[in-house]
Amino acid sequence: MSEVRVVSLPGDGIGPEVTEAMTHVLEAVASKYGHRLTVAEYAVGYHAFEECGTPLPDETLAAAVKGPAVFLGAVGDPRADGLTGDKRPEAALLRLRSELQCFANLRPAKVDQPLVTMSALKPEIASGCDMVIVRELTGGLYYGMPRGNDGTRAVNTLVYTASEVERVARVAFELAGRRRGHLTSVDKANVLEVSQLWRSIVSDLASEYPEVTLEHMLVDRAAMELVTYPARFDVILTENMFGDILSDEASAMCGSLGLLSSASVGGDVGLYEPVHGSAPDIAGRGIANPIGAIRSGAMMLSHSFGLQEEADAVEGAVTRVLADGLRTADLAGPNGKAVSTREFANAVAEAIA
CB 230 within 8 A of CB 250: yes
Average pLDDT estimate for 304-325: 96
In the residue annotation, 244 being an active-site residue is answered as yes
What whole-number percentage of the chain has pLDDT above 70?
A: 99
101 and 138 share one domain: no
User: pLDDT digit string (tens) for 186-222?
Assistant: 999 999 999 999 999 999 999 999 999 999 999 999 9
Average pLDDT estimate for 295-300: 98
Catalytic residue among 33, 87, 143, 248: 248
pLDDT at residue 336 is higher than 80: no
233 and 261 share one domain: no
Q: What is the pLDDT of residue 9?
A: 98
Catalytic residue among 86, 220, 268, 324: 220
In the residue annotation, 248 being an active-site residue is answered as yes
162 and 262 share one domain: no
**For the ranges 130-134, 159-163, 326-330, which has the lowest average pLDDT?**
326-330
pLDDT-derived band at 283, boundaries 50, 70, 90 = very high
3 and 16 share one domain: yes
What whole-number percentage of the chain has pLDDT above 90?
A: 92
| CATH code (residue 59) | 3.40.718.10
208 and 230 share one domain: yes
Q: What is the pLDDT of residue 244?
A: 92
CB 292 within 8 A of CB 259: yes
Q: What is the pLDDT of residue 82?
A: 87
188 and 285 share one domain: no
Catalytic residue among 42, 244, 272, 330: 244
Q: What is the pLDDT of residue 187?
A: 98
pLDDT at residue 1 is higher than 70: no
CA 58 to chain centre: 25
Average pLDDT estimate for 117-134: 94
Domain-located, residue 120:
no
Beta strands in the chain (DSSP E): 3-11, 36-41, 69-74, 104-110, 130-136, 148-149, 154-155, 182-187, 213-218, 235-238, 263-265, 270-272
Q: For the chain, how many structural domains are there in total? A: 2
234 and 264 share one domain: no
Catalytic residue among 87, 130, 142, 143: 142
228 and 146 share one domain: yes
CA distance linking residue 163 with residue 221, whole number of Å: 26
241 and 260 share one domain: no
Catalytic residue among 112, 188, 209, 330: 188
Q: What is the pTM of this model?
A: 0.92
Please provide the average confidence, as pLDDT, over all residues in the chain: 95
Residue 144: give the domain boundaries: 130-252
Helix (H, G, I), strand (E, B) or coil at 74: strand
210 and 244 share one domain: yes
17 and 86 share one domain: yes
pLDDT at residue 267 is higher than 80: yes
In the residue annotation, 188 being an active-site residue is answered as yes
Domain-located, residue 115:
no
In the residue annotation, 142 being an active-site residue is answered as yes
Q: How large is the C-alpha radius of gyration of the chain? A: 20
Q: What is the pLDDT of residue 287?
A: 95
237 and 261 share one domain: no
Domain-located, residue 2:
yes
Domain-located, residue 214:
yes
